[in-house]
Structure 1
Amino acid sequence: MANEALFIYDEFETGYHFNDEHPFNQLRLKLTVDLLRKLDALPASCIIPPHPVDMEQLLAVHSPDYIQAVMELSKEAPDPVWISQAGKYGLDTEDTPFFQGMHDITSMIVGGSVRAVDAVMSGQANHALHLGGGLHHAFQNKGAGFCVYNDASVAIQHAKSHYGVKVLYIDTDVHHGDGVQWSFYTDPDVCTVSIHETGKYLFPGTGAVNERGEGIAFGTTINIPIEPYTEDESWLECLEEVLERVTAHFKPDLIVSQHGCDAHAFDPLSHVHCSMDIYRAMPRLIHRLARQYCGGRWVALGGGGYDIWRVVPRAWSLLWLEMSNHPLAAAAHLNEPQQALGLPPAWLAQWQPQSPIELPTTWLDSAGSLAPMPRREEITLKNRHTKELALLYIP
């Protein structure tokens, strides 16, 4: 009998580390895993390690010269010739600087997402979660946006080529899932849906509603670029209606979702004003759609998230609790402030001394902790219009 859900993880993945000042901090993985363990929600039987990706699988998405550049720039002392070419491959920027060992560690991350697909498609598990993955900004021949290799694209391509399935990719990161979109922009067997802050104000500047796919794949790219300072209700209204209609129309065999948790009001790298409520609601929605249309086949990946203390561990833990059908995921009193369910005291005691900010003590944000936005009605109406444009070609 298949496991309900598997958790792909090895602490080696926390070695994806650009430098000590960089906002992409994989301490958040340790914080999440420890939170789940202290909740007794992550038994060892559910954890399987990632394996390095096969070069053939990597070459299905990335160009040979780019992979060679990554390998050369991963050396302890890269040849000056390769250092001089780092800019050509997007690996000399403040966002995505090359670092020692990056090929090995990123190959392991890509392999983890491929292993998640294999676990689900082989029937080993109904769902699989790989929080180390979700590096959705990398392109065929260029690194970008904290991403060296695009594990999501490689995993989707593997699902297509090895299992012959149609894949629905859902990207809930506040930044547009551009690398995955462009990987499959002309492929009618992959439908990409991305909800994100509009590119008018935020990296990577793409993801407009008129990016819809090309040729026979027209209509299989759907973008929902929402306004800055969007709150929970409007974010979820847009996502829910779009996903319901797109999934019913596309009829995927497998859902792959990316769960960046940087649309929270606390996140320092965006302007969206959502609370922890969306990180409970979105996995629940995707879980239901996977059961309804895909026989439960669902692979979930990590992604962005830069408030590593107050947001990421709670958001990613709520995702796993939903995927694994943990009783806490359905706890009604999560939503009742007077009975708000607390985080494990042992986790708070361990990490509060190391946190530079006061840690939240409950799973969801307390009532009144986020100030309401003054332009709420105007923002909601603009987002509603964007949603209608996004759905223009979906029956």
Structure 2
Amino acid sequence: MKPRSRFIYNENETRYHFHDTHPFNQRRLLLTVDLLRRAAALPPEAIVAPQLATEAELLRVHSAAYIEAVRQLSKPEPDEHWIRLSGRYGLDTEDTPYFPGMHDITSYVVGGSIAAAEQVMSGAAEHALHLAGGLHHALHGKGAGFCVYNDASAAIAHIREKYQARVLYIDTDVHHGDGVQWCFYADPNVCTLSIHETGKYLFPGTGDVTERGEGEAFGTSINMPVEPYTEDESWMDCFAEVLQATVRRFQPDVIVSQHGCDAHASDPLAHVHCSMRIYRDMPRLIRKAALDHCGGRWIALGGGGYDIWRVVPRAWSLLWLVMTDHPLVEQLAADPLLPLPADWLQAWQGASPDPLPGTWLDPVGQWTPIPRRQAIEERNRQVKELALMYLS
């Protein structure tokens, strides 16, 4: 019997590489896949290779001028004319600098997310995961936030054009899912829900609770910005209630979710203080919503995550374990400090700059308490009520 879940992956996706000191490091894909294999959780028959996106698929969400700029700046030695224009397209910044081969490898990422969508929408699989995807900051004519092409938007546009399905996009990255939100801000058949650290202090500065959509789509953009140093209980309280209300109100045909894992306390690029627990619990809620409301149709993507050794492999592995209903999920319920595979720790500890954690979940009882916990939780509750205002 074929597996109910597909894992879209090829090692070529690690070629998404700006430069050696850039925080976006796709070595995290290799670490995650190796952890899943050593945990006996990734059978070969579940793996599907990604494919290059076509020009038409890119044009659904990006301008022809931008695609041409990406193509020209992908050359080993771009023409001076295109180098001068790179700033117009957001490809000259410290975050998102152009690099050789950029067009092909980012088209490959887009193709992988479309392949995941096609696996689910065609009925070949119930769920699909593409961890190289989730590059949610790229805009119609501009790269941003480590993202050249927006594969999440392209996958949603594919679903809308080919299947006319109502899509709920859920973004759990600590940074607001701005590119996807703006792409579908006026589309009443795409609902975007993003939980993230408030843009008062963090890139991209958007995602306020007042961003609701426009025209016929008013009410289909839902944002849940949380305070810096938010912890597990408050994060999950906000996420669970807003998700449940959104699903009831919008009644989607399929869920597309983005799983950046940079809300973890160890991530160097944000200020939220969650543990590995949320990366088990959020996928459980999303999977239940897909089974209860969408006939199981669930497409999951990767995203941010910059502690590539201690956080990303565990978080993304937990996502796949939940997606496939692996026995390890029940074992973790009985033993939150279940050890990671010893051979994985042995294989990678020598390369890691920090001691690797020995357990799937974090020993949060040993963490230093956050001093302003009560005030942070109260502020998050207030914002949650605003987010829920049009969802009753």
Conservation of the 8 A alpha-carbon contact between 2:120 and 2:299? yes
Is 1:156 paired with 2:145? no
- What amino acid sits opposite 1:370 in the alignment? W
Q: Match for residue 85 of structure 1? A: 85
Per-residue CA shift, 1:208-233, capped at 9, x if unaligned?
A: 00000000000000000100000000
The alignment-based identity, stated in percent, is 65
- Secondary structure of the residue aligned to 2:4 is strand
Verify: 1:347 aligned to 2:344, yes or no. Answer: yes
Name the CA distance, whole Å, in 2 between partners of 1:332 and 1:326: 11
Query: By how many angstroms is 1:369 displaced?
Result: 3.8
Q: For the residues of structure 1 that align with 2:116 and 2:334, how far apart are their CA atoms?
A: 29
User: Could you give the per-residue CA deviations for residues 53-103 of structure 1, whole angstroms, max 9, x where no partner exists?
Assistant: 111111010000000000000001100000000000000000000000010
Alignment-derived partner of residue 393 in structure 1: 390
- Aligned residue runs from structure 1 range 226-237, under 5 A: 226-237=226-237
2:287 alignment partner in structure 1: 287
Give the Å deviation of 1:367. 3.7
In the alignment, structure 1 residue 296 sits paired with structure 2 residue 296: yes
2:381 aligned with 1:381: no
- Checking the alignment, whether the CA contact within 8 Å between 1:2 and 1:123 is kept in structure 2 is no
Q: What is the rounded CA distance, in whole Å, between the counterparts of 2:265 and 2:367 in structure 1?
A: 8
**Mapped contact 1:2–1:126 kept (Cα < 8 A):** no
Distance in 2 (alpha carbons) for counterparts of 1:187 and 1:32: 35
Q: Which residue of 2 aligns with 1:215?
A: 215
* Equivalent residues of 2:3, 2:45 under 8 A apart: no
Query: Does residue 186 of the first structure (1) align with residue 186 of the second (2)?
Result: yes
Is the CA contact 1:258–1:301 (under 8 Å) kept in the aligned structure 2?
Answer: yes
User: Equivalent residues in 2 for 1:69-218 (5 A)?
Assistant: 69-218=69-218
Shift of 1:372: 1.5
User: What is the aligned partner in structure 2 of residue 361 from structure 1?
Assistant: 358
Q: What is residue 46 of structure 1 aligned with on the other side?
A: 46
Task: Give the whole-Å Cα distance in 2 for the aligned partners of 1:374 and 1:112.
Answer: 43
| Secondary structure of the structure 2 residue equivalent to 1:213 | coil
Q: Indicate how the Cα distance of structure 1 residues 287 and 80 shifts in structure 2: closer, same or farther if over 3 A, else same.
A: same
Q: CA deviation at 1:299?
A: 0.1
AA partner of residue 354 (structure 1): A
Mapped to 1, the partners of 2:201 and 2:316 lie a distance apart of 26
TM-score normalized by the length of structure 1: 0.98
Give the counterpart letter for 1:266 in structure 2: S
Q: Distance in 2 between matches of 1:353 and 1:334?
A: 31
Structure 2 equivalent of residue 310 of structure 1: 310
Counterpart contact for 2:332–2:338, Cα < 8 Å: no
Q: Which amino acid aligns with 1:206?
A: T
2:59 is equivalent to residue 59 of structure 1: yes
Alignment check: 8 A CA contact 2:198 2:207 kept: yes
CA distance in 2, matches of 1:231, 1:279: 13
Aligned equivalents of 1:332, 1:35: Cα separation in 2? 16
Per-residue CA shift, 1:307-354, capped at 9, x if unaligned?
A: 000000000000000111111112245554xxx211011100000000
- 1:34 is aligned to 34
Give CA deviations for 1:160-208 in whole Å, capped at 9, x if unaligned: 0001100000000000000000000000000000000000000000000
Post-superposition Cα deviations, 1:119-166, rounded to whole Å, max 9, x if no partner, equal 001111100000000000000000000000000000000000001100
Matched-pair contact (CA < 8 Å) for 2:2–2:45: no
Partners of 1:194 and 1:99 lie apart in 2 by 30
Contact 1:167 1:254 in 2 (8 A): yes
**What stretches of structure 1 of length at least 5 have no aligned partner?**
none
The 1-side partners of 2:352 and 2:332 are apart by: 29
* SS at 2:365 equivalent: coil
Question: Contact 1:275–1:370 (CA<8 Å) still a contact in 2?
Answer: no
Q: Given residue 382 of structure 2, which amino acid in structure 1 is its aligned partner?
A: H
Quote the Cα distance in structure 1 between the aligned partners of 2:375 and 2:356: 33
Amino acid at match of 2:159: A
Aligned-partner residue type, residue 151 of structure 1: D
Output the aligned Cα RMSD.
0.9
> 1:368, CA displacement in angstroms?
2.9
The answer for unaligned runs of 5 or more in structure 2 is none
How many residues align structurally?
A: 392
Q: 2: CA distance between counterparts of 1:329 and 1:149? A: 34
CA contact 2:275–2:364 (8 Å) conserved in 1? no
Question: Following the alignment from structure 1 to structure 2, what is the Cα–Cα distance between the partners of residues 370 and 178?
Answer: 32
